[in-house]
Amino acid sequence: MCRNHYGPQIEFFSFPLPKDLIDLFVSADWANPEVTYRKSFAKDIIIQCLHPDNLKRGQKQLEKEINNGDWREKYGFHS
């Protein structure tokens, strides 16, 4: 719980995100990780704060892991 001196308490909690979520914020891609390396998606999310070289390297690594099956082996899913 978090208490704010301007108002009521705020409770933070976790909840599952559906795999067909259409609001593409960074956590919404859990079942569709390939979305993260699409340029149109990546430019609109917080990872844009990364140095461009680091972002590109991470996107390439993710693409490689998806294509060679490592992602599925590590995390057990990929749509």
Q: Does pLDDT of 10 surpass 50?
A: yes
Give helix then strand counts, H and E, for the chain.
3, 2
Query: pLDDT, tens digit, for every residue of 28-55?
Result: 667 777 776 666 665 556 666 777 888 7
CB atoms within 10 A of CB 42: 19
Q: Which pLDDT belongs to residue 2?
A: 45
The confidence band for 64, taking pLDDT boundaries of 50, 70 and 90, is: very high
Q: Where are the domains of the chain?
A: 23-79
Tell me which amino acid residue 45 is: I
Over residues 64-75, mean pLDDT: 88
32 phi/psi in degrees, rounded to 5: -135, 65
- Name the pTM for this structure: 0.51
